[in-house]
Amino acid sequence: MNVRKLGLTCAVSLAIVACGSASAPDEVKAASGAPFQTTEVAQFASPWAMEFLPDGHILVTQKEGALILIDPQSGRKQTVSGTPSVKSDDQGALMDVRLAPDYATSKTIYFSFSEAAEGKKSRVALATAKLDPTAAALSDVRVIFRGDDRSEKGGHYSGRIAFSPDKTHLFFTAGDRQLMAPAQEPGTTLGKVLRLNLDGSPAAGNPLAAKGFHPAVWSYGHRNLLGIAFDADGRLWEMEMGPRHGDEINLIKAGLNYGWPNASMGNHYDGKAIPDHEPGDGYEAPKVFWVPAISPGGLDYYNADLFPQWKNSLFITGLSGKSLDRIALDGETATKADHWDMGARIRAVRAGPDGAIWLLEDGENGRLLKLTPAA
């Protein structure tokens, strides 16, 4: 019996997230004391994502469109010039930022943002630029990919970036833009994971092109894809925000349909039921899900030595959950392992070069936090 479909109340506490259902998620271990110490490094105006430069500086994107370069040792911040105009109302933002695989020689960065389109419409865009960290400036800014611009709604841009392990392709997430049905439509990029060449063009050999799909599509049936990362064995993991509950962690495989909006472990916001993922329904079910929701904001893969007990894990941030969650990986199996109440909405997580875990809080005066082993 699925209590979610019967409208019963699921319990939430600071230490545990659990909900009874026929296919209930694993219980999260109670957080009886976090095994890390938290250091505040800086504050930002609605930060969104971060990236580490080889010299130790950090790039931080902010919702309204500013790209900030910070020295975490001194706390000195500089606003990087040359960023494009961002449509930042509602869920729009200057979103993800990543160094190009050849950054050491090219000084190229990739970043995503929401931009205005015709009339009241908008879309997600992926761009490259040359970064001069000394001058805190971008040059040669080029938009290399634009998503479908049919939506006048202000959310579900997604826009997360991951490079393939061999550094020859770029995986990019394009949300359903709150339109739902296009996630199942072949001819659009909405509600899809995309596989692109490094210049933004569709990669050759994408699995669904011969079936009439947009040539960039790698997988489909997604909602709002807010995290994507490869593990040490080259598996691609994706995190997306569900509707009313049903947040998901998916193992992304070429050509598969992940069900949205035809299947979900959540319901529509108006209370209308959505069929659960069931064996044999033709949709790839999530490896982990949350009922009730934590409203995940960010994801990163961890495999460093600073926290050896957490190697081969995914870290997930919670917005409404005000949380940090660890998902243990074992091949294609993912299991909820730890849940920590962080006392604030957490937008982003990244594993730093030294193995520390870095977090960005959401909202005005959102803090950049560094997590290191407890003394």
Mark whether 245 is an active-site residue: no
The b/e string for 174-199 (b: 16+ C-beta within 10 A; e otherwise) is bbbbbbbebbbbeebbbbbbbbbebe
Q: Distance from first CA to last CA of the chain, Å, rounded?
A: 46
Rounded distance between C-alpha atoms, residue 13 and residue 340, angstroms: 11
119, burial (CB in 10 Å: exposed 0-12, middle 13-18, buried 19+): exposed
Rounded distance between C-alpha atoms, residue 5 and residue 20, angstroms: 11
**DSSP assignments along 131-159, one per residue:** EETTTTEEEEEEEEEE------S----EE
Unique residue bearing structure tokens 């709150």: 178
3-state secondary structure of 192: strand
- Listed in sequence order, the residues at least 6 apart from 32 whose beta carbon sits closer than 8 Å to its beta carbon are 15
Rounded distance between C-alpha atoms, residue 126 and residue 172, angstroms: 9
Which residue out of 156, 169, 214, 277 is catalytically annotated? 156
Residue 219: name the closest of 201, 238, 245, 243 by CA: 238
Active site residues: 156
